């Protein structure tokens, strides 16, 4: 939690500096605090908090495959709110297929069913899914509430508040005593701050406000492939046949939900 808190506090501070350089002024925050608090809880604190806690036990590729379900939740929650988009029969079928893939991915088999050492426990996997749900709710909340403020300031304030929640949770858990410095740790922190917080979060926030829920959710296509390859090459992780099947079913459902219905829509 403390690692995540520092990550978002630094990333949020950098984005706020950029926002001030672009002309943002604190007066623009008037009336926006309830929305910012909600986004910081859903999109940073609860979402990232659940993910980082779970990844102590969940392999990176399994976590990424479960995160692909965000594309399904975003479409599902997108039927609510002022800018609701109602899925058709094909999208609904894709949602059901994707949910079946999630069940296949986390269903205990073999060593997991027997509680063998090294098996991925179910509760952390459910925590990853809970984080996906929070992230998807934050996406739809941002889509339905057009906050009249600079995009960089919106994301920066969301990160500052969410980072404060995470850092406070880490301090209350006594994580300050566990904090150590290392080159790998600093490199991981720098990568997450620059590429994830500053670039990816900002791009995603723009999509959440300007694209349809189905289009926004397509970001999750690439994560499983990258994580599976990186986990295999760097961490020596492996995928079970059931996980491969579950991943294929999830991605099939996501593709069915997001496949363009016409050439004009594709363009």
Question: Residue 210 CB: number of other CB atoms within 10 A?
Answer: 11
Q: Is residue 80 packed enough to be buried (19+ CB in 10 Å), middle (13-18) or exposed (0-12)? A: middle
**Whole-prediction pTM:** 0.79
- The whole-angstrom separation of Cα 39 and Cα 27 is 19
pLDDT band at 109 (very low <50, low <70, confident <90, very high): low
Give the pLDDT of residue 261: 65
Half-sphere exposure of 127 (CA within 13 A, CB side): 17
Window from 6-10, 31-35, 44-48, 115-119 with minimum mean pLDDT: 115-119
> Please, where are the H alpha helices in 114-198?
122-144, 151-172, 183-191
pLDDT above 60 for 69: yes
> Please, where are the H alpha helices in the chain?
2-21, 33-40, 47-54, 60-67, 70-77, 89-106, 122-144, 151-172, 183-191, 202-210, 213-217, 222-230, 241-258, 263-266
- The whole-angstrom separation of Cα 76 and Cα 124 is 23
For 155-204, the pLDDT digits (tens) are 999 999 999 999 999 999 999 999 999 999 999 999 999 999 999 999 98
Mean pLDDT of 40-48: 95
């Amino acid at each position: 939690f403390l690692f995540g808190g520092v990550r978002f506090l630094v990333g949020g501070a950098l984005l706020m500096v950029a926002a001030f350089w672009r002309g943002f002024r604190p007066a623009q925050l008037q009336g926006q605090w309830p929305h910012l608090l909600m986004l910081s809880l859903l999109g940073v604190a609860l979402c990232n908090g659940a993910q980082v806690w779970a990844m102590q036990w969940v392999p990176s590729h399994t976590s990424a495959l479960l995160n692909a379900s965000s594309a399904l939740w975003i479409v599902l929650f997108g039927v609510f709110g002022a800018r609701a988009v109602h899925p058709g029969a094909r999208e609904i079928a894709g949602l059901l297929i994707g949910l079946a893939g999630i069940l296949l991915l986390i269903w205990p088999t073999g060593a997991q069913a027997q509680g063998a050492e090294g098996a991925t426990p179910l509760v952390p996997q459910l925590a990853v899914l809970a984080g996906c749900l929070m992230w998807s709710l934050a996406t739809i909340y941002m889509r339905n509430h057009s906050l009249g403020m600079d995009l960089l300031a919106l994301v920066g304030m969301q990160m500052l508040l969410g980072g404060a929640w995470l850092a406070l949770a880490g301090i209350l858990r006594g994580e300050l005593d566990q904090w150590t410095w290392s080159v790998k740790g600093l490199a991981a922190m720098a990568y997450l701050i620059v590429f994830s917080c500053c670039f990816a979060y900002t791009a995603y926030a723009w999509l959440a406000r300007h694209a349809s829920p189905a289009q926004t959710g397509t970001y999750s296509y690439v994560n499983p492939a990258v994580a599976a390859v990186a986990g295999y090459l760097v961490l020596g992780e492996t995928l079970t046949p059931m996980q491969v099947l579950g991943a294929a079913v999830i991605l099939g459902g996501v593709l069915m939900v997001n496949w363009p219905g016409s050439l004009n829509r594709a363009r």
